[in-house]
Amino acid sequence: MVPNLRRWDFDVVADIFNRRDRNLILQIPFGSRIVEDGWYWLPNSKGQYTVRSCYKMLENLPSPPNSSVWRNLWQLPVPAKVKNFLWRAMANVVPTADNLVQRRVEVHPLCPICNVSTETIYHVLLECPFAKSCWLASVVGFIGNCVNVGEWLETLFTRCSKDDCSLAAMICWGIWLNRNNRVWRNINGRVSTLLNLAGQHLFQWQQVRKNPYFSHSLVANDHGSVCWKRPRDGWFKCNVDATISRHRGTISFGAVIRSSQGDLLQLKVLPFLVHLQLVRQRESACEKLSVGSCIFQFVQLLLRWIAYKCLMLYMTVLLILMVLVL
Q: Tell the smallest beta-carbon distance from residue 127 to Zn ion (Å).
A: 7
Q: Tell the smallest beta-carbon distance from residue 116 to Zn ion (Å).
A: 6
Q: Which has the closest alpha carbon to 209: 87, 85, 76, 68?
A: 76
- Which residues on neighbouring strands pair with residue 12, listed in sequence order? none
Q: Tell the smallest beta-carbon distance from residue 48 to Zn ion (Å).
A: 42
Q: Measured from the CB atom, is 183 or 240 closer to Zn ion?
A: 183
Report d(CA 289, CA 230) in Å as an integer: 52
Give the angle 145-150-151 at the CA atoms, nearest 5°.
Answer: 30
Q: Tell the smallest beta-carbon distance from residue 115 to Zn ion (Å).
A: 7
* Residues in 121-150 at the binding interface with Zn ion, rule: CB under 5 A: 128
Q: Measured from the CB atom, is 125 or 128 closer to Zn ion?
A: 128
* Residues in 96-125 at the binding interface with Zn ion, rule: CB under 5 A: 111, 113-114
Angstrom CA distances, 317 to 137, 231, 251, 321, stand at: 60, 21, 18, 6
Q: Measured from the CB atom, is 69 or 172 closer to Zn ion?
A: 172
Beta carbons of 81 and 172 less than 8 angstroms apart: no
Q: Tell the smallest beta-carbon distance from residue 89 to Zn ion (Å).
A: 15
Q: Tell the smallest beta-carbon distance from residue 85 to Zn ion (Å).
A: 18
Q: Measured from the CB atom, is 120 or 138 closer to Zn ion?
A: 120
Angstrom CA distances, 87 to 73, 81, 124, 209, stand at: 8, 10, 15, 22
Number of residues that bind Zn ion (CB under 5 A): 4
* Residues in 174-213 at the binding interface with Zn ion, rule: CB under 5 A: none
Q: Measured from the CB atom, is 165 or 175 closer to Zn ion?
A: 175
* Residues in 277-306 at the binding interface with Zn ion, rule: CB under 5 A: none
Angstrom CA distances, 167 to 87, 135, 158, 159, 172, stand at: 16, 11, 15, 14, 9
Q: Is 255 in a helix, a strand, or coil? A: strand
Sign of CA dihedral 136, 142, 148, 151: negative
Who's near 325: CB < 8 A, 6+ residues apart?
A: 266
Sign of CA dihedral 126, 133, 170, 81: negative
Q: Measured from the CB atom, is 166 or 178 closer to Zn ion?
A: 178
Q: Tell the smallest beta-carbon distance from residue 120 to Zn ion (Å).
A: 10
Q: Measured from the CB atom, is 76 or 114 closer to Zn ion?
A: 114
Report d(CA 293, CA 288) in Å as an integer: 7
* Residues in 259-278 at the binding interface with Zn ion, rule: CB under 5 A: none
Q: Which residues bind Zn ion (CB under 5 A)?
A: 111, 113-114, 128
